[in-house]
Amino acid sequence: MLAPRILKKLEEMLDKEKVVSDWETRLTYAYDAQVEESIPSAVVFPQNEEEIANVMRLAYEEEFYIVPRGAGTGLSGGSVPLKNALVLSLEKMNQIVEINEEDLYAVVQAGVITLELQNAVEKKGLFYPPDPASAKVSTLGGNIAENAGGLRGFKYGVTRDYVLSMKAISPSGEFLMLGAKTIKSVSGYDLPSLFCGSEGTLGIVCEATLKLLPLPEAWSAMLLIFPTLDKASEAVSLIIAEGIVPSSLEIMDNFTINAVEDYKRLGLPRDAGAIVLIEVDGYRESVEREMGKIEALLPKMGAKEVRRAREQSERENIWEGRRSALAALARISPTTLLEDVTVPRSRLSKMVREIEKIARKHNLLIGTFGHAGDGNLHPTFLTDWRNEEERERVKVAIEELFSAAVELGGTLSGEHGIGLVKAPFLPREFNQATIEVMKAIKRALDPKGLLNPGKIFPS
């Protein structure tokens, strides 16, 4: 717990109702979606940059830990308040400040929900492409801090590709202006990129200027049904090798299809070995041409069946199925551990085979789905952490999974971050000299090590 005099100071600098330390609230803010637990000392809800800076200055003077938090949908334990930290919630910083239709950008506070920005710009004929499957809940600040990817990564990239500039507060309470509102800027180091994916360890993102695109004129979605996951992943590589650039290119195995069907009853093919979900967007003529190219590849791909969405409701069904994958799997067992390995796209089917081998070897339930077009898979372990014997098997299996990804030239995390749960494995991917560079950056910005302790680096 924070000393009562510090709580009092916080109540004096923010309004009293913005400082909460009752047990229920602290318990609520003890988790993220990976369900790691650590109880915070209290939770504060600042409403503007000055309030955030004041809290940070107090933390720096009094030397207590701070953990920034958006919506808590993170999947690597990033917003879990280790060391009894004070949680600084951005959820009241939820204003869309400006949508600039001339210069194609939006200025948003960090706590704006991703989908709210997507909807607001769409009404003006504009498009904010980053689309994590959690978009209905996640915040843009959390997306920036995790450099979130999502369903449109293949064509449109990740959050970092849309951050032009941001306002942030340093761990000692200084105001930082990172980047510029212009489409180009090479004035000094690329600090917006450094903050993207920094997992709340370098500073608090308060406001961001995000690049927008014109809304694509047309779309077309289809679902391809395959006899095996292997065939489905080979089909993904074929599509990519053909030079086709769908906006979404997703995959789901038989286990996940059935979990989604049990949960949502969307009419997905229960007997398919795997499905590939595709969306193409752009000008009407180019959409038809790209869809035609995919259809021409079908005999070579070995798809059993093709379903093309003709109506908006059919399109929504396809994506609702994909977005619910994690929630559907999470209903099956007491513990759900979602991984995030990413390999070069050409190695996707090799990675899929490794996952299947690991599941068989350790006799474990793994549902696999993910952003196949990005080489990013989410093998999801369905287990019961209370069963010690099974827990040990899962731990070994996860280590083997990481080793397989790195050996295939891949990475531990494509989009969910290292956070707490993958910190011990960082040296698998980087040598010590590289990790020391990252630590030096952390020390330069946070010399007292008070911001989001215990994340990214192995302890």
Ligand X SMILES: Cc1cc2nc3c(=O)[nH]c(=O)nc-3n(C[C@H](O)[C@H](O)[C@H](O)COP(=O)(O)OP(=O)(O)OC[C@H]3O[C@@H](n4cnc5c(N)ncnc54)[C@H](O)[C@@H]3O)c2cc1C
Taking the least distance from each CB to ligand X, the nearer of 73 and 170 is 73
Instruction: Let me know: does 138 contact 415? Beta carbons within 8 Å.
Output: no
Q: What does 8-51 look like in DSSP terms, one character per residue?
A: HHHHHHS-GGGEE--HHHHHHTT--TT------SEEE---SHHH
What minimum distance in Å lies between the beta carbon of 168 and ligand X?
Answer: 7
Taking the least distance from each CB to ligand X, the nearer of 298 and 423 is 423
What minimum distance in Å lies between the beta carbon of 156 and ligand X?
Answer: 13
Helix-then-strand count for the chain, H and E: 16, 18
Taking the least distance from each CB to ligand X, the nearer of 67 and 301 is 67
Is 261 buried (19+), middle (13-18) or exposed (0-12) by CB count in 10 A?
Answer: middle
Taking the least distance from each CB to ligand X, the nearer of 69 and 345 is 69
CB atoms within 10 A of CB 406: 16
Residue ranges of E strands in 180-245: 204-211, 213-214, 218-226
Q: Which residues bind ligand X (CB under 6 A)?
A: 32-33, 67-75, 78-79, 90, 110, 132-134, 138-139, 141-143, 145-146, 148-150, 199-200, 204-205, 326-327, 415-416, 452
What minimum distance in Å lies between the beta carbon of 454 and ligand X?
Answer: 11
Instruction: Let me know: does 89 contact 44? Beta carbons within 8 Å.
Output: yes
| Edge-to-edge strand list for the sheet holding 66-69 | 19-20, 42-44, 86-89, 66-69
> What kind and span of H or E run contains 67?
strand 66-69
What minimum distance in Å lies between the beta carbon of 100 and ligand X?
Answer: 21
Is 169 buried (19+), middle (13-18) or exposed (0-12) by CB count in 10 A?
Answer: buried
What minimum distance in Å lies between the beta carbon of 280 and ligand X?
Answer: 19
Taking the least distance from each CB to ligand X, the nearer of 129 and 132 is 132
Taking the least distance from each CB to ligand X, the nearer of 143 and 342 is 143
Taking the least distance from each CB to ligand X, the nearer of 72 and 362 is 72
What minimum distance in Å lies between the beta carbon of 296 and ligand X?
Answer: 30
**Helices marked H in 190-253:** 191-195, 229-241
What minimum distance in Å lies between the beta carbon of 170 and ligand X?
Answer: 11
